Structure 1
Amino acid sequence: MTSGMSATGPSEDAGGLAVSMKMDAAIRRQASASASIGNTLSYLQTQDGAMNTASEILSRIGELKTLSQDVTKNTTDKANYNTEFLQLKEQLSGLTSETFNGLSLFGSESLTVKTSGNPDGGTIQLSGVDLLGSGPLFEDDFSGSSLSSDWTVNSGSPAVNSGVLTLDGSRITLAEAFDEDVSVEVQVRFDNSSDQLDIYNDSNYYLSGYIDGNELPDTDWHTLTFDLATDGTMANLELDGSDFSSATGTVSTASGDISFGLSESGSGDGVEFRNLSVSPQSGVSSSSSVGSVASTADLDSVDIETVKDAIGEVATFRAQNGAQQSRLNFAQEQLNTNRVNLEAAKSRIMDVDVAAESTNLARLNILQQAGASMLQQANQSQQIALKLIG
């Protein structure tokens, strides 16, 4: 009882000690995962606060636009409204540079949050909030069981399985054509030196020499990035962040909208792709109403319908944020439940049962006292007998 442990060494309960050690490690992992979720919730709440500010700024911009259209306002009044607008749009753009512990609040990149203390436990993918529309014009994680309708199959039979696209003697073209310079990022994997990857525009290949399994000799995933321009050229081909253009070279194709495609023509087992995204090189997509408002030159050029659409975009982002917070709250609740029950299970193995041991101690004390009393009475009987004889 003095140690508080049911076993003070492995020799007393080797199996129980082993189980308790594993439970203790699991408890620590659960606690760390719960803390991580708590930090993520703080991040999301900070993000939501910034989006609430963005919504108020957009509402004020809409109000300024309406006020500037008042026929009773003179040129000076309208100039004053425009001055405020210029300040507000700078603040709106500045929100995208806000960070939480060095992590950007806004952007196209998603976050993966661990929701279990187990090594192979679950995760939650938090979609990025691309407030100004600087994120992908197109992305495909190949999560379905077949190629999406965004692609046109030119030849072969592309296979999609568990987030991986496999091209084996196949050629596909992205149905959407882009009218601006774009940056492309995709993860690729070769499992045979005979595999060959080409990137092309219409009938003209961007690569003067294909990428093959000799240039990527291992079977790991590699990140391939490159820029495509509307003048028909490729530039800045990189592999895992390092220049890769010397391995392939590039050629020019015809100018015009970018038609982007992938082809595999080797004799190996095919090339695998995952997580493809196409982003504007300009940093701002025309599809973002918030970005359009932030990039408007002056108040006279502001379109009130665009402002309304921008407010709607922010509302959608905030709804997404709220849904993510709700899910994380439930995940954290489950983690805490698991941890409490693991602690209880560990306690049953390693902690002493105070009630049982106290009862046992009291029983032993009573037996000891009874024995001492009986011994005392026996001694007294002997003394009485001796007195009678004497």
Structure 2
Amino acid sequence: MAVVINSNPAAAYAAANLLKSNNLLQKSLSRLSSGSRISEPADDAGGNAVSMKLAAEIKRTEAVAINLSNALSFLQTQGGVMKSASATLDRLSELAVLTGDVTKSPADLSNYSVEFDNLFAELGKLSSDSFNSINLFTEPKTDLTVHLSQDGSQSMKISQSSLVGAVSAVNSIAAVSGANMSIVTDAMQSLATMMADNGAQASRLQFALDSLGVNRVSLEAANSRIYDVDVATETTKLARANLLVQSGASMLSQANTVSQLALKLLQ
């Protein structure tokens, strides 16, 4: 190779290799420091687009899971109130039977009636209970729509049952005593049906919530395979790039000394 002054091809080639190695080193450092395989869109344009959509879907799935949990809490609260109403109806039916005791004096019967009236008033209070200002029961019955999927394509309805409608006929001890006991049993049957609906809806919500959890895990795994860095692989690349940078810097330093030979020849 000729000894020249105006150019140094060896140094230029060494500098180009050093720049390339340094870029690889910086990319590995960026990936390892962020934990992301895609530190910038140019690293994987298509993968980055898919990852963005998966990340958004994961967020929506988590939001739907929160909504379902709240709806399940609504039904559980409603079910608890129905259970209290059922216990109250049981006592009302018991009082109605006790009034048929021929050994009871009018004063005793009056005491039963006072308790009956108070318990019926309690049923009225129960029917006005709410969950976060949302009525547990309405008159007439209405439905609330709950979306089960993050894209809104699947939904179900949960009931704001009519507790008043179920128990309104049981309004006095005289109205349900003796041959009219069927009024109480009919009310109990209506309430039992409402509780069955409540349990069925709560069961479906729980299964839907479990399904969302499985789906979210699968989405996170898919997104991780696209977006997250493989630390073992990337540390190997980092070591290689680090070695290339050091050797490139050393070779560039030596290549820059080649032109010194021309000066020695001119002395």
TM score, norm. by length of structure 2:
0.74
Whether 2:158 is the aligned partner of 1:126: answer yes
Aligned residue pairs, count = 213
SS at match of 2:164: coil
Q: Which residue of 2 aligns with 1:83?
A: 114
Q: Which runs of 5+ in 2 are unaligned?
A: 1-31, 252-267
Alignment of 1:18-29 (within 5 A): 18-29=49-60
Aligned partner of 1:9 among 40, 64, 74:
40
Over the aligned positions, Cα root-mean-square deviation in angstroms equals: 2.2
SS at match of 1:127: strand
SS at match of 1:323: helix
Deviation at 1:362, TM superposition (A): 5.4
Q: Which residue of 1 aligns with 2:82?
A: 51
1:116 partner letter: S
How far apart in 1 are the matches of 2:97 and 2:210?
A: 47
Q: Which residue of 1 aligns with 2:229?
A: 352
Aligned partner of 2:175 among 290, 301, 308:
301
Deviation string 1:247-273 (CA, Å, 9 cap, x unpaired) is xxxxxxxxxxxxxxxxxxxxxxxxxxx
Moved beyond 6 Å, runs of 4+: none
- Asked if the contact 2:75/2:202 (under 8 Å) is kept, the reply is yes
Deviation at 1:363, TM superposition (A): 6.2
SS at match of 1:132: helix
Structure number having the greater strand percentage: 1
Deviation string 1:96-142 (CA, Å, 9 cap, x unpaired) is 111101111012110100100014x2001223311222xxxxxxxxx
TM score, norm. by length of structure 1:
0.52
Whether 2:171 is the aligned partner of 1:101: answer no
Structure number having the greater helix percentage: 2
How far apart in 1 are the matches of 2:37 and 2:78?
A: 49
1:117 partner letter: Q
How far apart in 2 are the matches of 1:5 and 1:32?
A: 24
Alignment of 1:304-323 (within 5 A): 304-323=181-200
Alignment of 1:94-173 (within 5 A): 94-107=125-138, 108-119=141-152, 121-133=153-165
How far apart in 1 are the matches of 2:38 and 2:62?
A: 25
How far apart in 2 are the matches of 1:301 and 1:5?
A: 73
How far apart in 2 are the matches of 1:44 and 1:311?
A: 19
Alignment of 1:358-369 (within 5 A): 358-361=235-238
How far apart in 2 are the matches of 1:334 and 1:53?
A: 32
How far apart in 1 are the matches of 2:216 and 2:159?
A: 28
- Asked if the contact 2:37/2:230 (under 8 Å) is kept, the reply is yes
Q: Which residue of 2 aligns with 1:36?
A: 67
Greater C-alpha Rg: 2
Alignment of 1:107-256 (within 5 A): 107=138, 108-119=141-152, 121-133=153-165
Deviation string 1:21-64 (CA, Å, 9 cap, x unpaired) is 11111111100000000000000000000100110011000111
How far apart in 2 are the matches of 1:97 and 1:126?
A: 17
1:26 partner letter: E
Identity %: 46
SS at match of 2:174: helix
1:51 partner letter: M
How far apart in 1 are the matches of 2:143 and 2:175?
A: 34
How far apart in 2 are the matches of 1:360 and 1:52?
A: 64
Q: Which residue of 1 aligns with 2:218?
A: 341
